[in-house]
Amino acid sequence: MKTLKYEEVYRQEYRDLAEARRSVEHFLEKVYNQKRLHSALGYRPPAEFEGSLPSSASSRQRMTA
């Protein structure tokens, strides 16, 4: 992902692979999914967009019944 590389990986120096994994995981969970605005989602973060969708669990229950 271009965004991941330019906004996280290229800006950091990691001591080891474990630190790189922790840093990338943090970026994806806390920045990319919670804060970063996505034009394809109406300039909302993915977490906010998903929260505005109808519950998929209740939809699946109706389809299997």
Query: Tens digits of per-residue pLDDT, 13-56?
Result: 999 999 999 999 999 998 888 999 999 999 999 999 999 998 75
Q: Compute and round to an integer the Cα radius of gyration of the chain.
A: 16
**Spans of all domains in the chain:** 2-64
Number of helices (H) and strands (E), helices first, in the chain?
Answer: 4, 0
Q: What is the pLDDT of residue 25?
A: 96
Q: What is the pLDDT of residue 63?
A: 53
Q: Are the beta carbons of 22 and 30 closer than 8 angstroms?
A: no
In this predicted structure, the answer to whether residue 59 has a pLDDT above a threshold of 90 is: no
Please give the structure tokens belonging to residue 2.
Answer: 């271009």
Q: What is the pLDDT of residue 41?
A: 93
Task: Report, in this order, helix, strand and coil percent for the chain, each rounded to 5.
Answer: 65, 5, 30
